[in-house]
């Protein structure tokens, strides 16, 4: 008898939900096609696939069209799978779709959204972004300063490879590429670099990989936050790696605050400190760091963003580029010929040479096309009712 009532109420709930959806589709705004959804779990059953999410969405496009809607638990998610709509959402109506969803994992990663990448759009976020933009402009000579750092680290990497080749030693390029990219970012942020086996460098590699492995998993705890009350190995690993990251960042930050000088600017962290102090002391602007609550956490999470966006993504692209070039030696030869004829052997390539190296540029773009680092980007949230394409979006 108990089972009978359970089934009866389940059917009743489904009938009510179906009626509500029908009423909304017939009288409400026009929505994109919707994947099948069940109470509580939404469309999760339709998303079960061995394919990566971006490949799965491409397959679903054949059935549901270029733009479709699905339910992640109780959250409505619109998949924009078409270039014109993506351009409209990200560029033409970028401010309307500038919000960010709050999730359990990103809150842990960013101290409740105190960074740029995952922070929600607000007055504080706009001011934070302005501070970061000003700091980047104040950092040395902009791209020229960064270019010198990259060239120095590339030269060091080439020496390492040449030394291994001279003695016939096999060399795993993966850790060497990671170290080179990490040193570029560390020089940019902290005016420091690391040699092989450095304990602090190894700790950075450990926490970076741990964060990537957990955040990239699309954990169910982000769909159903109440699941965090149960034991969760991925969440435990994420908290552990974030704790290591925060300890390293805090150490660097404390060192910079202790010997900070308005007359010396060594790196991006100095530039951020100067921009923040300048904003706090500027009484002529309508909004300042105090009024929006811009704290030390915001600056620390900004540096964390730069590591997340700079080290892992750049290293991944370089690894894939090397892997493809190994399998396409003719492409290697054409790139080398272009570099020899346009640049020569007397100096390294510079950013200003980019227009003279079309084949190298095309190769980089092809690697990014075949192996995109973040094919789904960071999710966006609409801040108001709006239209995209022929569809209406309502809050």
pLDDT digits (tens, 9 = 90+) for 21-37: 544 444 445 888 999 98
Condensed to tens digits (0 to 9), the pLDDT of residues 323-363 reads 999 999 999 999 999 999 999 988 889 888 999 999 999 99
pTM for the model = 0.80
Q: Encoding tokens for residue 295?
A: 């704290």
Q: Tell me how crowded residue 343 is: count the other CB atoms within 10 A of its CB.
A: 16
pLDDT given at position 10: 46
pLDDT given at position 358: 96
Angle at 18 between CA 13 and CA 20, to 5 degrees: 95
**Contact by Cβ (8 Å): 129, 100:** no
**Contact by Cβ (8 Å): 279, 242:** no
Strands 391-393 and 75-80: unpaired
User: Which whole-number Å values give the CA distances from 143 to 137, 140, 150, 269, 350, in the listed order?
Assistant: 9, 9, 10, 17, 10
Sorted by where each starts, the structural domains of the chain and their CATH numbers stand as: 24-97 (no CATH), 124-313 (1.10.630.10), 328-372 (no CATH)
pLDDT given at position 20: 47
Cα 391 to Cα 30: distance, rounded to the nearest angstrom: 6
Give the CA-trace dihedral at 275, 277, 282, 286, to 10 degrees: 70
Burial degree of 311 (CB within 10 A; 0-12, 13-18, 19+)? buried
**Secondary structure, 3-state, the chain:** CHHHHHHHHHHHHHHHHHHHHHHHHHHCCCCCCECCCECCCECHHHHCCCCCHHHHHHHHHHHHCCEEEEEECCEEEEEECCHHHHHHHHHHCCCCCCECCCCHHHHHHHCCCCCCCCCCCCHHHHHHHHHHHHHHHHCCCCHHHHHHHHHHHHHHHHHHHHHHHHCCCCCCHHHHHHHHHHHHHHHHHHCCCCCCCCHHHHHHHHHHHHHHHHHCCCCHHHHCHHHHHCCCHHHHHHHHHHHHHHHHHHHHHHHHHHCCECCECCCHHHHHHHHHHHHHHCCCCCCCHHHHCCCHHHHHHHHHHHHHHHHHHHHHHHHHHHHHHHHCHHHHHHHHHHHHHHCCCCCCCCHHHHHHCHHHHHHHHHHHHHCCCCCCCCCCECCCCEEECCEEECC
pLDDT given at position 367: 95
Which of 181, 250, 173, 238 lies closest to 212, judged by CA? 238
CB within 8 A of 111, min separation 6: which ones? 297, 300, 301
Strands 391-393 and 386-388: antiparallel
Residues of the chain with pLDDT under 70: 1-29, 138-144, 216, 282-294, 395
User: Which whole-number Å values give the CA distances from 343 to 150, 348, 352, in the listed order?
Assistant: 17, 8, 11
Q: Chain centroid to CA 215: how far?
A: 10
């Amino acid at each position: 008898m108990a089972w009978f009532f359970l089934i009866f109420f389940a059917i009743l709930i489904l009938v009510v939900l179906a009626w509500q959806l029908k009423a909304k589709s017939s009288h409400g705004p026009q929505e994109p096609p919707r994947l099948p959804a069940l109470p509580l779990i939404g469309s999760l059953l339709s998303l079960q696939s061995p394919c990566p999410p971006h490949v799965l969405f491409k397959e679903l496009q054949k059935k549901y069209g270029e733009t479709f809607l699905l339910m992640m638990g109780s959250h409505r998610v619109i998949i924009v799978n078409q270039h014109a709509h993506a351009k409209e959402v990200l560029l033409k109506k970028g401010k309307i779709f500038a919000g960010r969803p709050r999730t359990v994992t990103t809150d842990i990663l960013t101290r409740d959204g105190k960074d740029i990448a995952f922070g929600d759009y607000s007055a504080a976020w706009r001011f934070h972004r302005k501070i970061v933009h000003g700091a980047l402009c104040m950092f040395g000579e902009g791209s020229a300063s960064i270019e010198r750092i990259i060239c120095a680290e590339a030269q060091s990497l080439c020496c390492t490879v040449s030394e291994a080749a001279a003695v016939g030693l096999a060399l795993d390029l993966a850790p060497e590429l990671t170290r080179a990219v990490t040193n570029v970012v560390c020089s940019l942020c902290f005016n420091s670099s690391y040699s092989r086996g450095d304990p602090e460098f190894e700790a950075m590699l450990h926490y970076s990989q741990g964060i990537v492995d957990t955040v990239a998993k699309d954990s169910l705890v982000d769909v159903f936050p109440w699941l965090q009350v149960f034991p969760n190995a991925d969440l435990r690993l994420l908290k552990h790696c974030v704790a290591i990251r925060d300890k390293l960042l805090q150490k660097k930050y404390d060192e910079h605050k202790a010997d900070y000088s308005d007359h010396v600017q060594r790196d991006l962290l100095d530039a951020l400190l100067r921009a923040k102090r300048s904003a706090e002391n500027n009484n002529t602007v309508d909004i300042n760091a105090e009024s929006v609550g811009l704290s030390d956490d915001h600056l620390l999470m900004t540096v964390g963003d730069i590591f997340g966006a700079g080290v892992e993504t750049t290293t991944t692209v370089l690894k894939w580029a090397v892997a493809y070039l190994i399998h396409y030696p003719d492409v290697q030869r054409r790139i080398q010929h272009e570099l020899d004829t346009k640049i020569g052997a007397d100096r390294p390539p510079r950013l200003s040479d980019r227009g003279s190296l079309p084949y190298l540029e095309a190769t980089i773009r092809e690697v990014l096309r075949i192996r995109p680092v973040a094919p789904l980007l960071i999710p966006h949230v609409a801040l108001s009712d709006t239209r995209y394409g022929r569809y209406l979006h309502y809050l």
